[in-house]
Chain A
Amino acid sequence: MLTLYLPRDAAALAVGANAVARALKDEAARRGVEIRLIRTGSRGMAWLEPLLEMEQEGERLGFGPLAPEDVPELLDNFDTHPKSLGKIDEIPFFNRQTRLTFARCGVNDPLNLDAYRAAGGLNGLEHALRLSPEEIIRDITESGLRGRGGAGFPTGIKWETVYKANGTRKYIVCNADEGDSGTFADRMLIEGDPFLLIEGMAIAARAVGAARGYVYLRSEYPQAHATLSQALQIARRAGVLNRAFDIEIRLGAGAYVCGEETALLNSMEGKRGVVRAKPPLPAHAGFLNCPTVVNNVLTLAAAPTIMARGAGFYRDFGLGRSRGTIPVQIAGNVRRGGLFETAFGMTLAELVTDIAGGTATGRPVKAVQVGGPLGAYFPPYKFTTPLCYEAFDDQGGLIGHAGMVVFDETADMLALARFAMEFCALESCGKCTPCRIGAVRGTETLDRLRAGDPAARPLIEDLCETMREGSLCALGGFTPYPVLSALRHFPEDFTPVQEAAQ
């Protein structure tokens, strides 16, 4: 019997994994070969998807990217197939990673709770259940874990605030809105290892004394929704979720701003996803006015590792005040795109050149946008910046959810700056004027710049300052990052048309 593994992660499905699965089953049946095909999450090597794995003497051998046409030849001879990649563990993109959060992702059937346990799953929760809330919070604080949703807020302090807040009803809300372009780590984790998120939320619940959790999941992720729904049922049947703590999914409805935690809470309450003024913090008055932990998927998914292996183990990875690992998502115009989990501190150059192998088109890299639609565009001469919160801050950028979008030399930076303004206008919740009106004016002003109006340039700079200083949340407040970084680092793209013609 041949044991094979093939992802059913959305990215693998998007490039034909189901057609490969059908071809494998049909061809095996035709030949009378018995195969066991286990559908898994993804290893995160997106350029190799659909990536088939075969188990041989305890090793996993990889084959990809596969098309259904490859299957007959593959079954004839695995060893010399042109799409053979050798051992998965030895693929450089894979073996240069430090996989803590994504250690299990892509290895097994994500809904097999026994396999999850066998691979060390639930050890963290079991340990946490033996500790007092104070001890859990102490460990999380000592691990140095900071929020992976964007703002990098220390997780231990957030949990402690909710723990100490008055109120009998408290909530754990997992932010799975993942709206940033270039990011997909939350989706991959939910599709590939959903029990890890459930375990992390249960640990958080234990720490702060919450009986109910919600996962606010974006509606653009139907596969993640299906997997997580099934995982919750399985966890309930196995008693991992129970009367003391249970989790429900809430679907978003296509509003980017609902990733902002207070807009998210309004949305969960059935209101328009409008940002709330802080204070009060969600930790004091969150969902339905109760003390609420709002954490990103990856933040919560880091908790089981910290519980199971110790705060010191986690803290030993990283750079400066950025501790642990960060799943970098490499996307856009790259040769090798996907998820690369690594300790903080790698430089952009290493990531873009060595790991990603440059652009897919083979043209020189022009810019990399880090941190989603509110993140700055980095030109190649700034690629020495190490990936950590502080260094990015110094460079006028942000790590955000650690998405990197690579552009080749054909990128039109003025068009990208305009898109940033257009996106902000489209997604603004409307509560504050700098964001709501500023973004519309920004789009118009960039159009004037394109048309050759030299007065538009100082106006844009001035407008960006108003948006940065005066917006209620980071949507309006950070849209100036992509706009101004494009303007500063790529001035040639902003030369008015007439001037350029002269």
Chain B
Amino acid sequence: MTQTDTLAQIRAIAMSHAQAEGPLLPLLHAVQDRFGHIPAEALPEIAQVLNISDAELRGVISFYHDFRDAPPGRRILRLCRAEACQAMGAPALIERILAHLGLERPGTTDDGALTVEFAYCLGLCACAPAALLDGLPLGRLTDAALRTALEEPQC
């Protein structure tokens, strides 16, 4: 994709949301759905279409945990570390998983295969510990089950 294509797409996404009541969050979600993150070159386009300042836009994007400023890995694993999952051993599980992946903290593996993020409750608290892998829920998680899920081909 060329730079001009990207800009044209971002502009089109921005325009398609411009008339909504409170358009910015749906717009940012749409951009991230399309590109996996909010590309830096999107910012001036969005600011211009919505007639807001660059500072305001950056302020909003940085406020929300969901929005990324860099492309994620090919798969995204969100590990829950909230209380119900803690009660079922999530802290130790998370530590082992990160070590297995060669990560010190949440982030993307060197080969770009996987991005690990922390989540604070996924609503799966009665089958803790829980995670979301590319949006698919995983519960009663064990090391083995998680490794298997990560090795399965992406659907």
Contact = CB atoms under 8 A, between A and B. Distances in A.
Contacts of A215: none
Contacts of B140: 14-15
B127 A250 contact: no
Interface string B4-31: 0000000000000000011111101100
Interface in A174-195: 178-184, 186-187
Contacts of A253: 25, 28-29, 64-67
Given A182-B84, A250-B25, A270-B24, A331 B125 contact: yes
Interface string A246-277: 00001111111000000000011111111000
A78 interface: no
Contacts of B137: 10-11, 13-14, 223
B26 A178 contact: no
B120 A256 contact: yes
B125 A405 contact: yes
Nearest to A272: B63
A10 B64 CA distance: 24
Given A11-B139, A331-B128, A405 B122 contact: no
A172 interface: no
Contact of A184 (B24, B64, B123, B135): B123
Find the residue from A47, A253, A330, A427 having the highest chain B CB count within 10 A. A253
B121 A181 contact: yes
A91 interface: no
Interface residues of B, number: 42
A411 interface: yes
A24 interface: no
B43 to A, nearest CB: 14
Contacts of B128: 331-332
Given A11-B137, A15-B139, A223-B137, A272 B25 contact: no
A373 B22 CA distance: 29
B126 A337 contact: yes
A423 B25 contact: no
Contact of B83 (A223, A288, A360, A405): A405
A317 interface: no
Interface string A403-418: 1011110010000100
A270 B125 contact: no
Contacts of A272: 59-60, 63
B138 interface: yes
Nearest to A403: B125
B97 interface: no
Nearest to A45: B126
A476 B87 CA distance: 23
B119 interface: yes
Contacts of A182: 82-84, 121, 125
A14 B127 contact: yes
Nearest to B122: A220
Contacts of B60: 270-272
A411 B88 CA distance: 10
Given A251-B25, A270-B22, A360-B88, A178 B123 contact: yes
Contacts, number: 161
Contacts of B109: none
B14 to A, nearest CB: 12
B119 A337 contact: no
Find the residue from A251, A271, A373, A407 having the highest chain B CB count within 10 A. A271
A180 B123 CA distance: 9
Contact of B64 (A254, A330, A419): A254
A332 B83 contact: yes
A288 B126 contact: no
B123 A268 contact: no
Nearest to B28: A253
Given A182-B84, A272-B60, A337 B127 contact: yes
A288 B22 contact: yes
A219 interface: yes
Interface in A412-444: 416, 419, 423, 426-427, 429
A270 B136 contact: no
Contacts of A181: 82-85, 120-121, 125
B124 A10 contact: yes
Contacts of A427: 120
B127 to A, nearest CB: 5
Nearest to B88: A333
Interface in A322-373: 329-334, 337-339, 360, 369, 373
Interface string B29-59: 1000000000000000000001000000001
Interface of A: 10-11, 13-15, 46-47, 49, 178-184, 186-187, 212, 219-224, 250-256, 267-274, 287-288, 329-334, 337-339, 360, 369, 373, 403, 405-408, 411, 416, 419, 423, 426-427, 429
24 contacts: A14-B124, A181-B82, A184-B123, A184-B126, A219-B66, A222-B132, A223-B137, A224-B123, A250-B22, A255-B63, A255-B65, A256-B120, A271-B24, A273-B63, A274-B63, A287-B21, A332-B128, A337-B125, A337-B126, A337-B127, A369-B83, A373-B83, A416-B83, A426-B120
The 7 closest A-B pairs by CB, nearest first: A270-B24, A14-B139, A337-B126, A332-B87, A46-B126, A181-B82, A253-B64
Given A15-B139, A46-B127, A331-B84, 4 more contacts: A183-B121, A339-B126, A416-B83, A427-B120
